[in-house]
Amino acid sequence: MTTLRHLIVWYRAYTDNADPLARIANVVAMIVAGNQPFYPLYLHAIVGTAAWPAWLTLLTMPFFAAVPAVARRNSLAGRALLLATGIANNILCVKLIGAATAVQLFYLPCILLAAVLFRRTERAVMLPLLGLPFATYFFVDGKLGPPLAVFANGQYASVASLHAVSVASLIAVIGLLLSSILSDRNV
């Protein structure tokens, strides 16, 4: 029990930040980093050994995990790192498992985060990060060539369903985190 308590204390200290927007970015980044090792296992359960390329998504895990450390030094840089890593991870996923899996739905939380994690004075950073998922979707994803993984036709719907539920859950968490700082401001 004491180890779990120490882990919770460490997690709270690591994700804490005086900037409430950085705190949201930190929590989201750590949720994604904490779930990344399970993602290939979920795919393996759905499609079997054809899911092997999904293990390469772990390459982005250290970048997600670094968001709170970067945000501690520079809030804006930490928030931008979360978005850049999320978009890069999505590009990687499209190449690894293909657009037919609806993995591009993960651009939606990236768009939401880009819209809510930046202040008016930070528009020079926000606007490019807000446009990047759209640009990537329209101009990059289609030029990545065939995916490394190929699944049976019936499996694509199951993987797409996993992605849809995951995206909806992530958006819900972002909404809950955002509502907590809005209620603190009595908005």
Give the tens place of pLDDT for each residue, 153-178.
899 999 999 999 999 999 999 999 99
pLDDT band at 1 (very low <50, low <70, confident <90, very high): low
Whole-number Å distance between alpha carbons of 114 and 122: 11
Angle of the 107-116 helix axis to the 153-184 helix axis, nearest 10 = 10
Q: What is the pLDDT of residues 43-101, one digit of tens each?
A: 999 999 999 999 999 999 999 999 999 999 999 999 999 999 999 999 999 999 999 99
3-state DSSP assignment of residue 174: helix
pLDDT at 185: 58
Q: What is the pLDDT of residues 119-153, one digit of tens each?
A: 999 999 999 999 999 999 999 999 999 999 999 98
pLDDT at 102: 97
Angle of the 75-97 helix axis to the 107-116 helix axis, nearest 10 = 170
Q: What is the pLDDT of residues 3-27, one digit of tens each?
A: 999 999 999 999 999 999 999 999 9
pLDDT band at 184 (very low <50, low <70, confident <90, very high): low
Please give the backbone phi and psi of residue 119, each rounded to the nearest 5 degrees, phi first.
Answer: -85, 165
pLDDT at 187: 43
Q: Residue 75 region, left (φ>0) first, then alpha (ψ -120 to 50), else beta?
A: alpha
Query: Which two structure tokens, joined as six digits, stand for 23?
Result: 């705190």
pLDDT at 182: 83
